[in-house]
Structure 1
Amino acid sequence: MTEYQAKSKETLSFDITKEDQLIGKLIYKSWFKFNAEIEMAHNSKYQIEPKGFWGTTIELKEGDKVLLKFKMNWNGEILVQTFFDGIEKDYIFKHRGIFKESFVLIDQKGTELLVMKPHLKWNWMNYEYTVTTSDTFDALPHREIILINSLHCANYYMSMAMSGI
């Protein structure tokens, strides 16, 4: 098990750390769009962009190559597909609870890979997150990208919930 922190230093970006070491950043282009950029601590960069007419499918790309995509289904779960190293894997990212709310990422076998707990920062009116990952998640080869994308999924969910969709 590993614990990560996702903290917003300013309203449009989050720093993701493990034991006070920067893992990467999630940087949004503007408040009202789902376009973002991921900057990893080892200097690789990825773009997150909505696709399709309604922009309901979100893609994570390295250059022109789609590495991951997700979309919300009819019951509020976010279906995540990864395409790392030419291998497709499916995950479900979902909201859990009301009073002790959290998000979970589950693999195809139903294994909980991570639990993300939001903490509202009233002075900034935004969220910070504590993320606890399982040993199964810790063994994934592209876990840091999946972790930061999960943060984007949580923000996406919160945005959709606030807009009433």
Structure 2
Amino acid sequence: MEYIIKPVNSKIYVLEQNQNELGRFIYDNVFSCNKATVQITNGPVFRIENISAWRSDFIVKENEKSIFKSRFDWNSDITFSTLEQENNKDYILKAKGFWSDTHSLLDQDKSELLEIKPAYKWKNFSCEYHIKSSEAFQTINHKELLLFSILQGLKTKLMHAAFL
């Protein structure tokens, strides 16, 4: 399956599959990527918030129930952990190479679930994200939410790289 995450403006991103909108990612503030709302089409609303002012890690909640947690590793990998009581899983987002802007999402068995590649639009100073997923990815609970969590992780990673 193929997905695309497109910017509507500097605050709003839309997740599409076959030109059908699956959800929206809305930053609270144009100048900060610490807090956002995720609206799944015909589904619930989620909040993404930083865990601490001193770390890049964030948590995804539905009301007060935590769904995903992220952890940024020293080697620039991002681990996404599901917080479902009966089905906890970890997914790791890794860069395909040192100079590559393409990333892979791996499951606990190190099988590739998806590949995400940014397409920069320099004219508009924006970026679309093109995603190719495997059949195994389609079985994940909250897969749209995981895609938006990956977007948050990549945007946070990019923001930190700009300040180094």
2:9 matched residue in structure 1: 10
Mapping for residues 15-164 of structure 1, pairs under 5 Å:
15-30=14-29, 31-84=31-84, 86-97=86-97, 101-164=101-164
How far, CA to CA, are the matches of 1:100 and 1:78 in structure 2? Answer: 16
How far, CA to CA, are the matches of 2:129 and 2:115 in structure 1? Answer: 10
SS in 2 for 1:120: strand
Is the 1:14–1:25 contact (alpha carbons within 8 Å) kept by the matching residues of 2? yes
| Cα-to-partner distance string for 1:95-152 (whole Å, 9 max, x where unaligned) | 2236652111111100111111101111221211101111110122321211221122
Gap runs ≥5 in structure 2: none
| Cα-to-partner distance string for 1:39-85 (whole Å, 9 max, x where unaligned) | 00114100000013514320000011110010211111111111135
- CA change 1:96–1:163 in 2 (3 A) is farther
How far, CA to CA, are the matches of 2:159 and 2:53 in structure 1? Answer: 19
Range that drifts further, 126-135 or 81-90: 81-90
> Runs (4+) of structure 1 moved beyond 4 Å?
none
TM-score, structure 1 normalization: 0.91
Q: CA deviation at 1:32?
A: 2.2
Is the 1:23–1:40 contact (alpha carbons within 8 Å) kept by the matching residues of 2? yes
Is the 1:103–1:154 contact (alpha carbons within 8 Å) kept by the matching residues of 2? no
Range that drifts further, 103-112 or 78-87: 78-87
What letter corresponds to residue 95 of structure 2 in structure 1?
H
TM-score, structure 2 normalization: 0.92
How far, CA to CA, are the matches of 2:8 and 2:113 in structure 1? Answer: 26
Root mean square deviation, CA, Å:
1.6
Q: CA deviation at 1:158?
A: 1.4
